[in-house]
Amino acid sequence: MRRRDVLAMGSAASIATAACAGPGAGTRGGSPPPAGDRRSELYRLLGDVPDRQRPIAAKKRGEEERDGYVLESWELDLNGLEPVPAFLARPRGATGRLPAVLFNHSHGGGYTIGKKEFVEGRSYLQPVPYAKVLTDLGYVALCIDHWVFGERSHTSEADTFKAMLWQGRVLWGMMVYDSLRALDFLLERPDVDAARVGTLGISMGSTMAWWLGALDERVRVTVDICCLTDFQALLARKALSQHGVYYFVPGLLKHFTTAQINALIAPRAHLALAGLQDKLTPPEGLDVIDGELRRVYADMGHPERWKLLRYDVAHQETPEGRQEALAVLRANL
């Protein structure tokens, strides 16, 4: 099959079809598979990941006073393969168990940045970094360096992806695994209320937020900013190069559409923020996802818990979007 024929399989005409009767939409006696079964199916696509129940080891490197909060530096053993550096921010002087947020850093080609985005911000985020914003709200917040980023940027994304593929692993699967284990670490802290936890991020961090929300029911609220990408729309536009190689999971399209992954978050709260000029999220794909999730949340009796807001910008967080994100966190945490 020629390359252009492969890409043609993602034609615009297939987008709506995939949303209604897409991969993994098989039924049992006319009923969709239970959400728990679908979560297990999604998790299996992540490749040969470490044992989900392996013990986590953590070594505190230190802490420092910041503007209204305390920043802790940690080295975590989440996967048994390489250490995972992390920043944890907590409100200064707070007592008792607090709500918590797992912040997922972006890509943007900034391989040496990683978790520093959490405390220093990025050009496409609003000026006040999320470590400051979240602790001002009274939350404990954690951000790890993902594979090939920050202190883990010792090997290129392409080389890491290829080496893992040879070993039966998937780069995105290993990144998601680390996020799930980071959530385990966060929720074990004595100052965190495990019943009130959310996740958010922009770009790659947005994708991580909705994968994490789909796979882990402990996540009470998901906020994804500028990366709710419909896979079929991306194929139709021949725009796969807009996303890094980390993004691609072998066999995923045989089992799930983007909307079907995000449906696993329902009926928990989910806010998506998108730019109408963002090449990473084709607007026709956003239409498909929005339509499907509106139906899913309505069928579950909570239409108000799903919201997609679009702004006339490219790949960036807007002031209005920042306020919406904070509002949905306050309402649900």
pLDDT of 97-128, one tens digit each? 999 999 999 999 999 999 999 999 999 999 99
pLDDT band at 32 (very low <50, low <70, confident <90, very high): confident
The residue ranking higher by pLDDT, 26 or 86, is: 86
pLDDT of 244-297, one tens digit each? 999 999 999 999 999 999 999 999 999 999 999 999 999 999 999 999 999 999
Question: Cα angle at 158 between 153 and 159, to 5 degrees?
Answer: 75
Q: How high is the pLDDT of residue 180?
A: 98
Residue 224, pLDDT above cutoff 50:
yes
Backbone angles phi, psi at 35, to 5 degrees: -60, -35
As a whole number of Å, the CA-based R_g of the chain is 19
Tokens at residue 130, please?
């999320």
What CA dihedral angle connects 241, 293, 25 and 175, to 10 degrees?
Answer: 50
Identify the H or E element spanning 18.
helix 12-21
Orientation angle between helical segments 204-215 and 35-44, nearest 10 degrees: 130
8 A C-beta contact, residue 89 and residue 133: no
Mean pLDDT of 199-212: 98
Tokens 């922009």 correspond to: 202
Residue 35, pLDDT above cutoff 60:
yes
Residue 30, pLDDT above cutoff 80:
no
Q: How far apart are CA 67 and CA 61, in angstroms?
A: 20
Q: How high is the pLDDT of residue 22?
A: 60
Residue 310, pLDDT above cutoff 90:
yes
The residue type at 82: E
Q: Which domains does the chain have, with CATH numbers?
A: 3-332 (3.40.50.1820)
Residue 1, pLDDT above cutoff 70:
no
pLDDT band at 18 (very low <50, low <70, confident <90, very high): very low
8 A C-beta contact, residue 108 and residue 98: no
Share of the chain above pLDDT 70, in %: 91
Q: How far apart are CA 29 and CA 27, in angstroms?
A: 6
Residue 223, pLDDT above cutoff 60:
yes
SS3 content of the chain, % helix, strand, coil (to 5): 40, 20, 40
Question: Cα angle at 318 between 315 and 323, to 5 degrees?
Answer: 140
Bridge partner list, 225: 202, 273
Q: How far is CA 179 from the centre of its chain?
A: 9
Bridge partner list, 192: 98
Q: How high is the pLDDT of residue 25?
A: 53
pLDDT of 41-62, one tens digit each? 999 999 999 999 999 999 999 9
pLDDT of 125-182, one tens digit each? 999 999 999 999 999 999 999 999 999 999 999 999 999 999 999 999 999 999 999 9
How many CB atoms lie under 10 A from the CB of residue 90? 24
Mean pLDDT of 65-86: 97
Which of 134, 121, 119 is CA-nearest to residue 72? 119
Tokens at residue 40, please?
């297990």
pTM of the entire structure? 0.92
The residue type at 229: T
The residue ranking higher by pLDDT, 13 or 33, is: 33
The residue type at 320: E
